Amino acid sequence: MKGVFISFYQAFYEELVEVLDKLEIRGFTFWEEVQGRGSETGEPHYGTHAWPTLNSAMLVFLPEEKVEPLFDEIHRLDESAPLQGIRAFVWNVDERK
- How far is it, in rounded angstroms, from Cα 66 to Cα 60? 11
What predicted TM-score, i.e. pTM, was given to this entire model? 0.90
DSSP 18-29: HHHHHTT----E
Q: Where are the domains of the chain?
A: 2-50+65-92
**Mean pLDDT value across residues 20-40:** 93
DSSP letter at 82?
A: T
For residue 10, the cross-strand partners are none
pLDDT digits (tens, 9 = 90+) for 38-78: 877 777 889 899 999 899 999 999 999 999 999 999 999 99
Does 85 have pLDDT greater than 90? no
Handedness of CA 31, 32, 33, 34 (dihedral sign): positive
**CA dihedral defined by 21, 79, 8, 30, rounded to 10 degrees?**
0
